Structure 1
Amino acid sequence: MDLIPKPDQVVAAASNVAHAMLYGGVADLRKMPRTLIDEGLLRQVYHYRPAGKVKDEGDPILLVTPLAAPSSCFDLRRGCSLVEHLVSGGRPTYLVEYGEVSFRDRNLGMEHWIDEVVPQAIRQVSEHAGGRPVHVIGWSLGGIFLTLAAADNPDLPIASMTIVGSPFDVTKVPLVAPLRPLLKFADGPAMGGLTRSGRGPVQRIYQALGGAPKPIVRWAFQLSAAQKLVSKPLVKLQNLDDADYLAQIEAVDDFTAHMMAYPGRTFGQMYHRLIKTNDLKYGHFEFGDRRIEIKDVKVPVLIFGGATDGIAPAASVRAGVALFSGSPDVRFEIVPGGHLGMLTGRAARGTTWKFIDAWVDEWSSDQDAPSTDAKEVSAGRPAGKKATRKPVAKKATAKQPGARKAGAGKAGAGKSSARTPGASTKPGATDASGIGANRHRRYGSGGSRSLAR
């Protein structure tokens, strides 16, 4: 809104204020209808019902939520919901969430999600969709769970993986990096979380609480955007005439208000393995004598980093690109938005979601899958025509230092065509992938090879 509002801005602002007073807000927070298809301990798998006359077609998509976050991260509000976008596009869409975590769950470790929750959800979705392979999308810690589950279970029916805002190197997280030396000093030498005299102070606190309670989780999430929190009243006033902007603020507030707790043992593993010793940076994760290697992931991987993400900055997410050395195709995109905004912000509608559409179409198990507008434009084909997948080879081609990965077939089979190493993409030129290759797109970025240098 202008400093001296125009008449139409005044009318729009008055309308928004009146709507908020009468209905409690301007955001449409109705959730997309869904049906429970499987459940277990801290595991509920849902299938979203097709929209109207639109029929589910093609491979299913499974959305993996992180711990402590409500599933509204994928279904924030009408008009700005990844679930709504996928369902409206006729894609079979599923979600796994965990429900409320209580003190009685304090002994559950990350193994529960890596060994049981995520693998079981993938298998159930594949079965429910007629045995098709599943495109799995994990946000934040959900992406970490997905990565470790896929690495440890190579037989899972996964068509492709999409990882959104998952930090693989916490030394590149400004909120955490300065604290790591203090944490090591406080808890003493790394001895499984114990000091030489017994438990460290941090460990004693989270064990006594049974994990990380809701208020602490909510406060930590808000701390990552402290500046926005302080300036929010003024920003709302400046955008009082913008209903879509106000609706987004309301939806994010509602999301934050419904954050949940972390189980004690899981929080302890995250504290010791992810924050203190930064295991993922080195491509592995350990549970006692058990070791999971990220290089054992054998399916295509698409990774997103947020341009303004304070919780998992793009640099901390990009560190994971080089770790998926066993994957036939790894791509990285920097998209606008913070930790939540990159997934379901207003700008995500024209960036993150379009890239996901193109990625799923590319790795569809259908030989002649309909292509989305984003893919048609990037591939230089007229909209509405079908994209025929190229024949796949039985074995992925060997990697060459400094060269971009060739496209590869699903579940470890490599595509037979490869892009010329070091070739540039000029404005207006066509590119078969359309993701991570166009240097002239504002939020595009290089391929996994160049990022690994």
Structure 2
Amino acid sequence: MEHPTTPKHVFPIDRFLHAGEARLTAGLSPSSALSAYLDWAAHLANSPGKIGELFEKAFRKSLKFNAHVGEALLEKEGTPCIEPLAQDNRFRGEDWRRPPYIFYYQAFLLLQQWWHNATTSVEGVSDHHQDVVAFCARQFLDVFAPSNFLLTNPEALKITLESGGMNLVRGAQNFFEDWARAALQKPPLGTENFRVGKDVAITPGKVVYRNNLIEVIQYAPSGKTVHPEPVLIVPAWIMKYYILDLSPHNSLVKYLVDGGHTVFMISWKNPHEEDRNLGMDDYIDGGVTAALAAVRAIVPEEKVHAVGYCIGGTLLSIAAAALGRDGEDRLKSMTLFAAQTDFTEAGELMLFIDQSQIAYLEDLMWDKGYLDTKQMTGAFQMLRSNDLIWSRIVHEYLLGNRRAMIDLMAWNADATRMPYRMHSEYLRKLFLKNAFAEGHYYVGDKPATPSDIRVPIFAVGAEKDHVAPWKSVYKINFFADVEVTFLLTSGGHNAGIISPPDHPRRHHRIATKPGCDPYISPEDWIETTEEHPGSWWPAWQAWLVKHSGARRKPPAMGKAEAGYPPLCDAPGTYVLME
């Protein structure tokens, strides 16, 4: 069965071919990459002025580098030709400041800078193709960074000499252990110390509802009174829900329960081939709407504080817009964690999204019925290859040091799949066509838009988020016609959200815009909004309390007479599915 976004004339032989190719290319479309390269190469070849500028830059950089080499060889205190970018920590150590290693990394950074100049600002190249070519050039150069090799990495050489080469022995052991685990499809070493339901996801609760897509968990109160309005959390289905219920010391669920809130959580089923035709409508109806009905039945006559994380927040926004459009008054407020409602500036993930790439992914998913975890994991790792690939290779295989597994890393290894139809619709409707923000995303027979949302909004962005850049998340201020409280926290897409009050080195900014106030650009917002030290959790919890009633006796766990009896203990069964 095909879905409405599938082109009419698709030949099975083409799909089999593309699916086979995709297994060799990590799901990346060769046609998409080739189109980007040809667009760049053709326009560069027809730009003699740009070519001349690049020759001039190469000449100037070589002169500057040669002068720096001369100063260093004469034992003079020379100024480095170029400093690493703020996020590049590969060459920060003092050992890199001495010859010959300073020459290695300076030459590498100058070459990297030259290629950035060569792949950007070429007149006539589309923005998307320019970004793809620049990204690919950066990925290729990073393979040959001097930090990746023993003889050009002074820190690795020093440790090798001091340990008599034992770091290389440990590194080889680490490599073969990781290779064997990958070949046997076992999780990374150390994840066995973070068992779901035993070490993480242990906040007490009951599964009070289950359908073919979700389980709804109701958490037990930790005190004698709670605020009357329940909190329903909609996590992303690309991840297991327990990122919000990790170890007790950094569990957002436990923090909310201890703060006097009745918390409900959606736990998404990990889809298999038989779930291939589940679409976005199913995730709204069988996910958000079904969970909201369960919460309202268990806690009747109370509106709900709805919370969405990542694409779960996008889905919640669409559902909330449909409720507001239809005049259904079920929500008290809506909170979005690193969730986008507009996808015109959706970050580096857009590198992997164009017509060619989506068609390629559809053929890969058509073969299996879902998008495998390996394709998703590979794409996210490529976006941060220095941190997630090369730094790990250097640390664990060259230096021979194992990084201690933590609960967030163990959760990250517990990935989920994406159904064929849903993922195709999600990419085409939201990323490619930006249908929700532009007013042509249909829920039922009518469009739903962000301006249909009728409840106060609390939106959280993270400064270093590469999945949902904070300026993209901030756009809810532009689209919504209600009061929006925007909070910008330090950290990235996951670590910025998991920010318990005792977390060191955290800070945040927060400001509220009434619905009638004029829009402020994100650049002006960050300039005029005061920075506060510490976690953002207390600020959000205070906002929830402000929008909640006085405490009273907690509701019962489930409600059998309404058709929602407790089915089993948390964390339920869906989160344990492979």
| Normalised-by-shorter TM-score class | 0.5 to 0.7
- Tell me which amino acid in the other structure corresponds to 1:161: M
Q: Give the Cα separation in 1 of the matches to 2:214 and 2:380.
A: 23
Q: Give the percent of matched residue pairs that are identical in Structure 1 and Structure 2.
A: 24
Q: Is structure 2 residue 34 aligned with structure 1 residue 34?
A: no
Higher relative contact order (CA 8 A, sep 6+): 2
Equivalences for 1:76-91 in 2 at 5 Å?
A: 76-91=246-261
Structure 1 residues 343 and 313 mapped into 2: Cα distance closer, same or farther (>3 Å)? Answer: same
Tell me what 1:359 maps to: 543
Equivalences for 1:48-447 in 2 at 5 Å?
A: 48-51=219-222, 53-154=223-324, 155-180=328-353, 183-184=354-355, 186=356, 200-229=359-388, 230-232=390-392, 250-286=406-442, 290-325=446-481, 327=482, 329-346=483-500, 347=503, 350-364=534-548, 366=549, 368=550
Q: Give the Cα separation in 2 of the matches to 1:129 and 1:359.
A: 21
Task: Compute the displacement of 1:106 (Å).
Answer: 0.7
Note the residue ranges of structure 2 that are not aligned, 5 or more in a row: 1-92, 95-188, 398-402, 508-533, 553-578
- Tell me which amino acid in the other structure corresponds to 2:421: R
Task: Compute the displacement of 1:207 (Å).
Answer: 2.1
Q: Give the Cα separation in 2 of the matches to 1:25 and 1:264.
A: 33
> What's the RMSD between the two structures over aligned residues?
3.2
Tell me what 2:217 maps to: 46
Structure 1 residues 255 and 54 mapped into 2: Cα distance closer, same or farther (>3 Å)? Answer: farther
| TM-score, scaled to structure 1 | 0.64
Task: Compute the displacement of 1:91 (Å).
Answer: 1.3
Contact 2:272 2:370 in 1 (8 A): no
Question: Helix, strand or coil: the match of 1:46?
Answer: strand
Structure 1 residues 151 and 169 mapped into 2: Cα distance closer, same or farther (>3 Å)? Answer: closer
Contact 1:361 1:369 in 2 (8 A): no
Question: Helix, strand or coil: the match of 1:312?
Answer: coil
- Tell me which amino acid in the other structure corresponds to 1:213: D
Structure 1 residues 217 and 23 mapped into 2: Cα distance closer, same or farther (>3 Å)? Answer: closer
Q: Give the Cα separation in 2 of the matches to 1:56 and 1:205.
A: 48
- Tell me which amino acid in the other structure corresponds to 1:360: L
Q: Give the Cα separation in 2 of the matches to 1:23 and 1:256.
A: 10
Contact 1:284 1:294 in 2 (8 A): no
Task: Compute the displacement of 1:281 (Å).
Answer: 3.8
Structure 1 residues 80 and 157 mapped into 2: Cα distance closer, same or farther (>3 Å)? Answer: same
Which of the two has greater helix per residue? 2
Structure 1 residues 223 and 117 mapped into 2: Cα distance closer, same or farther (>3 Å)? Answer: same
Question: Helix, strand or coil: the match of 2:344?
Answer: helix
Note the residue ranges of structure 1 that are not aligned, 5 or more in a row: 4-20, 188-192, 194-199, 238-245, 371-453
Task: Compute the displacement of 1:110 (Å).
Answer: 0.6
Contact 2:439 2:449 in 1 (8 A): yes
Please, which moves more after superposition, 336-345 or 27-36? Answer: 27-36
- Tell me which amino acid in the other structure corresponds to 1:159: K
Q: Give the Cα separation in 1 of the matches to 2:250 and 2:406.
A: 12
Structure 1 residues 77 and 234 mapped into 2: Cα distance closer, same or farther (>3 Å)? Answer: farther
Q: Deviations over 1:9-50 (max 9, x none)?
A: xxxxxxxxxxxx999659953521210111112121111112
| Structure with max Cα Rg | 2
